[in-house]
Structure 1
Amino acid sequence: MLEVACGRKPVDIRGLPEEAILVDWVFGCWRKGAILDASDPKLEGNYAVKEMELVLKLGLLCSHPTPAVRPSMRQVMQFLDGNAELQELPHESTSFGNFTNVEASEILLSINSSFDKGLTASSSTDSVLYSSR
């Protein structure tokens, strides 16, 4: 997801060292409060802002170093279809790989609680990104 939304490969050693690892770079943008800075510049802003934010945040969550925190594919589809709300990632971590077990547990519990409410995936998935008209 991050590769598509950012228009970059997972590792790019040609750029700045702090931008070499895609996940770390996107997480850094998010921590600065500028997650949209990670979006593919070729899109020239022609996307739904909320949907791009969702894709980028969901991409971070799917890349989480703690497997138990990563959402299932069913959960990913529910987030993308708008049938579940993605909780915010904790701001306390200094890098994506440094979430504490408590933070990881809180993320997992918040995601799972949204599925306990009987949410189901919709029958069709609309495109997450679209061109502005």
Structure 2
Amino acid sequence: MAKRELRPLAEALRSEGLSVPAIAAELGIARSTAFRWTKHLPREGPAQAIARRKAHAKAMTDARWSEHRLERDTERAEILASAAAEVGQLSDRELLLSAQPSTGRKAPNQPRPGGLSSCAFQLRHRSRSR
């Protein structure tokens, strides 16, 4: 069969939902040719095949990134727990005051006494000065 006669067949196969490599194998043509002939067609096909491909892609992504996500989530939980322990329980007033801009000027990167974060430092020193 001449290539000219294969093009409508490739378009029909693509409309049925076949992938470019499957079309190339079916018709005995190069994948690049199959792609050029069918790239203008939307990828339509059975909804189950599309859903299966999406589920497979999600499973592969989850398998690749699950360890990283677990490490990231563990690190975030440790940071939050550390910050909560450092700041302690805040009253509504302290919480409101902590959102206000600082009036005292400190040089950037200047360490705070006792290794406190700026929020905890401000809360301690505001309550003492009043």
* TM-score in terms of structure 1 length: 0.25
Higher relative contact order (CA 8 A, sep 6+): 1
More helix by share: 2
Work out which of the two has the higher radius of gyration on C-alpha atoms and give 1 or 2: 2
TM-score normalised by the chain length of structure 2? 0.25
